[in-house]
A and B are shown apart, each in its own frame.
Chain A
Amino acid sequence: MSILTMVIVSFIVFSLMELVPGNCAERYIAFKNTQGQNITVEDIRAEERRLGLDRPFLIRAFSWMGDVFFKGEFGDSCILRLNINYLLSDKVWISLGISLAALFFSYLVAIPIGIYSAVSRNPIANNSVRFISYLGLALPSFLLALMIMLTTTVLFGESMSGLFSKEYRDAAWSYAKFMDFMSRAWLPVFILGWAATAFALQTVRALMLDEIGKLYVTAASARGISGRKLLWRYPAKHSLGPVINSLGFDLNRIFNDLPVVALIMTLTEMGALLIDALAFSNDQQLAGAILVVLTATIVFMNFVTDIILALMDPRVRQGLMG
């Protein structure tokens, strides 16, 4: 199922790439033109044949998809004339790391607070949780990033932007670089996690409220289980199922914010590269590759959550086994 989804998505992405006016051959030749060579229409056609661009659309689509799936090879970027895998290698891991950390952070915050606000009758806590989650909906993370950036710049004179300090920017990975990275990465993690936290908070709270009034909880408390043990063993366990199920979509939401936040905070990772490819250089190969990587991660995440859910919930397990 997830493989099929990937096939459809990559086909859509490839069709999108084809929509861009001009193809690789023209780009290469245009580049040669700037180098002072004279070119003709025949040259372009010849170049098209060399790159295999004269084949029909479907064949090209499937050969591209085949390369992506079986070799993990995205081909070359025509604009930068570099291999895309080489371009992306480091950045993919940084981006995924930040996004997953953001996801982890948002659940770390949302689950306990959501449960607490559902259980407690404290109106102040309840209302502030509601307010924060609404704010999370209304205040897009790029705005939040902007505010934090601007205030830190004005207050401390030094901006919090970027993922590395100057001295480490081009250095190879080392312990010192890693620590430097960590000291700066928490801010993007927080900002990316912000919206996801608000959503998860609301979900956890609503589900918990639903579950807590059910009879099995009353029965458990009648048996003398109380306090934290009661909460974690019975209603929390049940209400976390749908939350885990939504992991993939939360990741989707975080990826959604990634490029814009990257732009504001001048992060040097995949999101920034995507904006660069789309907004400035029209580099369709690079953009397509990034889209596929992002979606693949989400599909993989969905797959993992299905497995976690099956492990956690015997009902789901039974449904899968048939």
Chain B
Amino acid sequence: MGFFLNKSDAANDQNLKEAYFTASQGQLIRARYKSNRTAMFAGWVLTLMILLGFFSEFLSPYEPTMAGRDKKYENGPPQIPKFWDENGVSFRPFIYGTKRERSLKTNFRWVISIDRQDRRYLHFFVEGWEYSYINLDWDLPGEAFDLDVKALTFSTHLFGVDKGGVHLFGTDKSGKDIFSRTLRAIMTSLKCGIMGVLIAFVLALVIGGISGYYGGWIDHILQMITDAIRTVPPLPLFMALAAFLPQEWSAEAVFFVISSILGLIGWPTLARRIRTHLLSERSQDYVLAAQLCGASSNHIIRRHLLPSFTSYIIVDLMITFPYMVRLETALSFIGLGLIDPVSSLGSMMQNVSKADVLLNYQWYFIPVIFFIVFVLAFVFVGDGLRDAADPYSQIKK
């Protein structure tokens, strides 16, 4: 092809080549990632989800806990805002008012009816319940250590209605807004996953690092332990650990411990990979050079060995993340993890496990869809990153 190129194209080509050869590792990875369309799309979906989770309080009109429940709208179907109906067009989106009735006619069940004459208009940036982005409330033993800090407190929400309630995804059996709960659940899963991954990462780095750098009998013993932990099926082990949590602990404490357990179980695979990498990298010349210069082990590990595979570690973390989320979800699903007043994707999925729900309250499944999209997006991004970080991979066009 180069034969047919004219001169300026050739120069252009030369520039491209030069850019390619002088590009840093990060630039190369970014370029390769960008050429992978599925991964890019998944990346955007993931970013959107993370933003949804992060701004969950602002976006959700009601508190996702019992405090925000709508007593008059239990098991209520989703209300979809409309711009027009048979009574005319409105620029402001509106929903219909609802009435709840229980009589002989409805077989003594609460039945919610829609009053199409009663329009309720959506307002934007309304004041509602308060939320703080920094909210530390530690109840440590001893009065002096109690910590109660609230900062960045807001009470503005994206939308709301003046009377009654608006429930985009409907409500559950105690009247909690499923939309608000789903957003909060995404945040919970994110936090749980991040904490689990971080703890696993630190453990893996320390254990894998020691094992890989020193080798010999230390490596042998550490590998034996790692292997032993790796053979135990994680979910049963996780269940066993979680089952020992005292029942009376607060939701935050349980959440904290659950995420730590995730980390405590998740480290072996990562540690293994770090070790293998270090073992092969340890005998390279640049390490020998550093050693001859009198650098300490600590210095060599931190300054020379770790940077040599940071990108792989990041990729690995991304790949581990969905498994952490899945584990947490499975655990909450069987009732050993986070339980109902806490909004987590697993605890919300627990609500759909009845045939009654599929027949009558299909909107309970909305969080399930979010969960699948969330995990899929993570898997795709992780895969895309892995391909991008692998210098030998060829992007197939």
Contacts and interface: CB of A to CB of B under 8 A. Distances in A.
Interface of A: 4-5, 8-9, 12-13, 16, 19-21, 134-135, 137-140, 142-143, 146, 150-151, 153-154, 159, 248, 252-253, 255-260, 263-264, 274-275, 278-279, 282, 287-288, 290-291, 294-295, 298-299, 302
19 contacts: A4-B224, A20-B244, A21-B244, A134-B376, A137-B376, A154-B355, A154-B359, A159-B355, A252-B231, A255-B236, A256-B236, A257-B235, A259-B235, A259-B334, A278-B240, A287-B243, A288-B240, A295-B232, A302-B231
Interface residues of B, number: 41
Given A8-B228, A256-B233, A278-B336, A138 B375 contact: yes
Nearest to A264: B353
Given A153-B355, A252-B234, A258-B233, 15 more contacts: A5-B227, A19-B244, A137-B379, A138-B376, A139-B372, A146-B352, A150-B355, A256-B236, A258-B236, A260-B333, A263-B334, A264-B353, A278-B242, A290-B236, A295-B233
Q: Nearest 8 pairs between A and B by C-beta? A: A8-B228, A278-B243, A255-B233, A138-B376, A138-B375, A256-B235, A153-B355, A150-B358
Contacts of A137: 322, 375-376, 379
B45 interface: no
A138 B379 contact: yes
A260 B330 contact: yes
A252 B233 contact: yes
A16 B240 contact: yes
Contacts of A16: 240-241, 244
Interface string B363-376: 00000100110011
B94 interface: no
Q: Which residue among B227, B322, B371 has the maximum number of chain A CB atoms within 10 Å of its CB?
A: B227
A299 B329 contact: no
B33 interface: no
A150 B360 CA distance: 12
Instruction: Give the interface centre of B228, B329, B333 by most chain A CB atoms within 10 Å.
Output: B228
A126 to B, nearest CB: 10
Most buried by A among B234, B237, B243: B243
Contacts of B300: none
A271 to B, nearest CB: 8
B93 interface: no
Nearest to A146: B353
Given A8-B228, A278-B243, A142 B233 contact: no
Contacts of A263: 334
Nearest to A9: B228
B59 interface: no
Contact of B239 (A8, A142, A153, A278): A278
Nearest to B368: A143
B376 A291 contact: no
Nearest to B232: A295
Given A137-B322, A143-B368, A278-B240, A9 B232 contact: yes
A151 B372 CA distance: 19
Contact of A12 (B229, B353, B380): B229
A294 B233 contact: yes
A220 B244 CA distance: 59
B187 interface: no
B73 to A, nearest CB: 25
Contacts of B241: 16
